[in-house]
Structure 1
């Protein structure tokens, strides 16, 4: 890792900017000073500056991973062929009540994976139990890695069992406890988070705070109103989940009658539906709710990797695009997508429109925009991160164009989205500081990860096995829920590409 330089000049690279030629970006020099890009152009005459020769490279903006959870990083590769509700029985439990050492390890490991895949900003929808002192542990781990984080602790005041249809009817009390009977105290959570924000601060701009109601069905209406007051007082962005599965859709239909069977209307009446709110997933959203989001300026974060692996469905990309809803992209949990790679997510974004029968779908340049500037917008960081331009943060990624993915070089945008795997990433800067160099992070960080994995993973694997065995006792209950869901679910009210696989099954 080279020594950090307060002022340096990158020379000889093709510089990717969204408002210029994205197929053959011109070669230019980039002057960085005090963590910001100062100038881009022919700067060979600049003197008294550290020079970084990147001839034969592409210099691109760092990605913004707009939806991610760090709590289950150590469960990567542990699950297959599970629906979300069954997967959550283990993936949620393995994140709760863990040691500070394990929480630091999982946060650090996830951050390093993000950095090595060109992600310079990650939105951590952080599930922490207990909140203190773990908020500090997480913030300190991100500081050690040097990645920029949108830190958004999860809050809720209803139990998991409260948010799943028919559990109380079909499960015994003991089985319901496996799902989760504990209802956290919502106002206390907000107070703890507010105190942490004041204590930790923004770490020189590397932390952007946000707040995350776990999902509308996991919060009472009164608590959603309290979250709205909290975020307005502190001017915070909001991230939440919405309609990730058919069961969640039907829950809204049947349990939110007060709001016309709509979680979107519930959020709207609580004051939480506006341009400062981003909804992850939105697979089973109805046409009238798409219009509500569009009218309010609320955003949607697409997470195709996890949606496909958990058999949740395909978001209505075409309908969301046509409605003009601001879109962004995320990688989601490490145990349901198994990778933090915006490269994979961008590729899926472009390809899945074809699965839904759309011929005029998104192209590579649009996907890059969603993975950079659009992700910045979700946190109110537009104009600060997400593109390479004077005045922007020097969050930059250097790709080696001699890698086979770039040979021959026909289109930088298309090859970045469709050909690059992360193999060509050589260097990554965050706020002008080198965080990955020649493909590696700081030696002390990589050594700490290796040491802690060897020490802690035997216990984690033992706990995962026990939690999986406990979750397996719920198999019959969830099979009965699935059967009932098939009988109750009305596909006719979902005429979007989200229902592609469901329409095929019903024909």
Structure 2
């Protein structure tokens, strides 16, 4: 099928210096899911008279947005876990209800697409059972993305130790009263798949989804505290064997920074660097508590960072030093993580939050420009995935993943034309301005409706499922969560007593 995407303004992408590359009064010729030609509307209409036409006057086209760090559908808050500091939140989340993976995935996929997200980096943190059970769950998640038509990079996170607090499971069990140990041990056992089998799951997924246009599989070693050195070595070996990129949570909280010092005597980033887990194929999720030396190492190795602004606020993690990242030329992507500041997955809102959080005080102080934020949500997000240069821009040869915006609605009742288009877009675009979302040349969302699925029907399914009484297992986990939380609090009491070094190494010294 041949389609012309027509608009008053088309953002093709960004030049090497970060300048937006715009086409005024232009059109994109889409064939077989790829941008084949870019030109003036009239010229392309004449040379392709039989092409279908989408858009027109009053429309703006941008590359599809990339949510570069995502985990779940229904949010932890919806399922009963309030926002705690991250380390306590793990214990609180023991009480979460079970949600069918397909419905859970579609719930957040609807929200993402409606805000212009065409690609998601799905980091599957945990799934109980052995390889067959995990592969079945992964298949349900991936199939849900295929159902709605999104592009997804899926990974099942490697994790082989410290499943609740930052010490061995056996050691933590010894801290608990004897009557709590059996239930906690049983919970640990549900997620105790041997490392070798976790590696086999990765390779099985790559075989199953090889050569699929919209699905890729990558590697997600969870975080330093969740990974033994053997697991770090396995992740590096997997990357070397397959060329798949990696996405690892790192230095999200001050407790994680303290853990790294206790375990390695130095920096978490230095430690994973020794295993070859840095470079352009590696993305660090969060990076809030990085030192200047860590930032220099990222810049020197070309390692990427994914900034999760809402999550950092909600879980008391701190403010990532975004301006220092970008000053060093580090490619930074944008992710919404478990949920955004409004407890949903609205990438347009997330861009605005990141734009405004990092405006440091002072006339000459650094701050991100709107074009930089939009680049984070497109090109740099794409770079964290196996899709890489196929997405995140709309130049000839790129995948036809794009968002069509109603510029008249976005600017109504007035907007001075003196400001840059990217400034206006990042400040003012809302979900009701998204007129159409295209992935691989297919319109999957148009005029508030999903072309492949009935959203109200799916939400009704979720409501019916979650309206059922709690299962016996859910009741047990809820009880266990309430009982174990005080012991988790006790474990972290005094954990940060070790000094962090000179004040200038604090990431909050420069937001």
For 2:459 and 2:452, the matched residues in 1 are separated by 11
Q: Which moved more, 1:160-169 or 1:362-371?
A: 160-169
Residue equivalent to 1:214: 222
Change over 3 Å in CA distance of 1:489–1:483 after alignment to 2: farther
Matched, 1:390 2:396: yes
For 1:201 and 1:24, the matched residues in 2 are separated by 35
Which of 79, 83, 86 matches 1:84? 86
C-alpha distance after superposition, 1:415-460 (max 9, x if no partner): 2211222221111000110110111113644255134213311248
Residue equivalent to 1:14: 9
Residue equivalent to 1:230: 238
Which of 409, 416, 425 matches 2:434? 425
Change over 3 Å in CA distance of 1:202–1:494 after alignment to 2: farther
Residue equivalent to 1:39: 37
For 1:363 and 1:422, the matched residues in 2 are separated by 21
User: How many residues are aligned here?
Assistant: 488
For 2:8 and 2:74, the matched residues in 1 are separated by 37
User: Contact 1:280–1:301 at 8 Å: present in 2 too?
Assistant: yes
Which of 258, 264, 272 matches 1:267? 272
Residue equivalent to 1:352: 357
C-alpha distance after superposition, 1:363-403 (max 9, x if no partner): 00011111100111112434311112211111111111222
For 1:135 and 1:202, the matched residues in 2 are separated by 17
1:53-452 aligned at under 5 Å gives the runs 53-70=55-72, 73=75, 76=78, 78-91=80-93, 94=96, 98=98, 102-127=100-125, 128-129=127-128, 130-161=133-164, 163-164=166-167, 167=172, 171-172=176-177, 178=184, 181-182=188-189, 183-203=192-212, 205-257=213-265, 261-334=266-339, 338-355=343-360, 359-403=365-409, 405=411, 407-409=413-415, 410=417, 411-442=420-451, 444-452=453-461
User: Contact 1:116–1:436 at 8 Å: present in 2 too?
Assistant: yes
Residue equivalent to 1:492: 502
For 2:39 and 2:87, the matched residues in 1 are separated by 52
> Following TM superposition, where does structure 1 have runs of at least 4 consecutive aligned residues deviating by more than 6 angstroms?
460-466
Query: Unpaired segments of 5 or more residues in structure 2?
Result: none
RMSD, aligned α-carbons: 2.9
For 2:38 and 2:470, the matched residues in 1 are separated by 49
User: Contact 2:14–2:375 at 8 Å: present in 1 too?
Assistant: no
Q: TM-score, normalised by structure 1?
A: 0.87
- Offset at residue 408 of structure 1 (A): 2.4
Change over 3 Å in CA distance of 1:76–1:454 after alignment to 2: closer
For 1:418 and 1:278, the matched residues in 2 are separated by 27
C-alpha distance after superposition, 1:272-322 (max 9, x if no partner): 222211010111122222222222211110001010011110111122222
Query: Unpaired segments of 5 or more residues in structure 1?
Result: 1-5, 502-507
For 2:432 and 2:144, the matched residues in 1 are separated by 25
For 1:460 and 1:343, the matched residues in 2 are separated by 36
